[in-house]
Amino acid sequence: MVRREGWAAVVASVLGCSTAASSSGTDDSLAIASTTASAPGGSDDPGVPTTSGDSTAAGTTTALTGEASTDTTGVGPSGCGADVAPGPTIVKTTGGALAGEQLAEVVAFRGVRYAEPPVGALRFRPPEPRMCVAGPTPASELGPRCPQIEKDGQGQVVAMLGDEDCLTLNVWTPAPGDGQRPVLVFIHGGGNATGGSDDPLYDGAALATAQDVVVVTLNYRLGALGFLAADALAAESREQVSGNYGLLDQVLALRWVQDNIAGFGGDPQRVLLFGESAGAVNTCSLIGSPRAAGLFQRAIVQSGSCNERAPAKYAADIAGPWLAASGCAEVPDAAACLRGLAIADILSLQPDGYPDVAALGQGWGPHVDGVVIPKPALEAMSEGTHNAVPLVFGANADETAKGVPPLTVAQYEGLVHATFGPLAAMVLAQYPAGDYGDDGQAAYVALTSDLKFICGARRAARAADAGQDAPVFRYHFAYDGYDALPNATKAAFHGLELIYVFAAWGAVLPEPAMYEPNADDLAISQRLQAAWARFAATGDPGGADLTWPPYVAADDNGALLDEPPGLFNGVRAQQCDFWDMFAPG
């Protein structure tokens, strides 16, 4: 075992990362949805879809007022929607009646408030459940993103997006009523600093229609607003903890699903929680969190490792420097100072934690606070003290392909030496440029994809397999059959699988361009949608169209998600054995 000190400790700190800057970045939704390059079939850079329009969505929900209620049946008291008759687009909830919108084959309920606005005295505090209001409340417009910045390709801030009053969710259902459909709840990525459920990539209509399931997407607080840990904030807490507010938002949204989803035709006992990139990091944290016990019955961790930092490490990485920059660290009432900061100032403070899928530093994300996250999820899974449900872990073959620039062999080797110091010779022995056609870019993509994603999926699958009887599954997504320009290099890059899970063809190219999926695109989309829906329904993703046996650590086996699909026994095993020498524990 190599001693984890100096440069080795740096490696250990990023193993399983993807909690923010290290993990998501052009990241999840943003590796797919907020770059300006075009993608499968695009102009000059294949495979990077882009969203169109304003990222704060067309409609911004305004604050609602009304009579509070403690009713949890979904049928509130008078003045809370009790006198509203349910209908094809009307559903009663714990927050009052909602009026959705009939689409071609599903009913959509957008911008549904699941919490009170986290503003004023509720800033930097756990979320409060939505108070019941008179209805029916219109639910046809997506809510705004939570506050975030947008940068250009040179790292310059070009916009500040969103609204602090942002805790909304969206539901797509084939039909409201007493159905017992599986429920798929998705947590978006973006390094826990960017992204939102308004992204066209996450539109749930096609998935709900194709698989007869209920799809839920949600917003949660990002950046410092969602994950700042500070002594002054902990002092206000009954449990003497702070931070993880964005994670607690997700817990509250899952409670809303448990209380209300039956009215939308969903089965609260067949809830699949799945997230990608930073959303996957959060999903893994919820697997390990007692706060989420009983709120989901299966989970998929897509391209995001299980790695919550200890308080001291988290403070050193981002919380401490950010507090110092805020000017609030040394004032008598630091909590009041923080709540008095303007949103523009909060977003502008450095470090801002803006994500970069190929970077090795860490920004905002969950940390071990002893309460919401009692211990790292990997440790909890290994010990069997986690929420033991059927689990899937996986990563894409070329995760960082869109985040690594062209590199000569000399540039690649220089970058490795600058990054890994005295460990560089060992790293280069595992990733010699000659194994990648003397292409420095390809070598560094393999290195960073393994270090940050692929080996983390193996590590998590092994931990879960050791600590639970419920089945564990692993996948490796290697599909790159989309259409691109003749000389473009295609890759299974970070977030690509989301296009196929959501069949989000309209999110691939900027309007008015429209990507036309080819036969393989359609085939793998149907295969992935069916597997995710089966897993939600039964806890087993395999079927007649996809052989997918449970994971066995000794075999390191899983499903190769490609077209056609296959099986594997070990992915990058030698390299993952190498990185595991530096892993915590």
- Residues serving a catalytic function are 277, 399, 494
CA distance 285 to 281: 6
Locate 562 and state its tokens. Answer: 């490609």
Burial status of residue 300 (CB atoms within 10 A of its CB: 0-12, 13-18, 19 or more): buried
DSSP per residue over 340-373, as a string?
TS-HHHHHHSSS-----TT-----S--B--SSSS
Residue identified by tokens 């950046």 is: 223
CA dist list (Å): 203 to 48, 68, 103, 404, 417:
18, 31, 12, 28, 43
Burial status of residue 406 (CB atoms within 10 A of its CB: 0-12, 13-18, 19 or more): exposed
CA dist list (Å): 413 to 446, 449, 454, 574, 582:
14, 17, 22, 20, 21
Question: Measured in whole angstroms, how far is the alpha carbon of residue 280 from the centre of its chain?
Answer: 4
CA distance 75 to 379: 41
* Ramachandran area for residue 206 (φ above 0: left; ψ -120 to 50: alpha; else beta): alpha
β-strands 157-161, 177-187 pairing = unpaired
Residue identified by tokens 């085939």 is: 523
Burial status of residue 171 (CB atoms within 10 A of its CB: 0-12, 13-18, 19 or more): buried
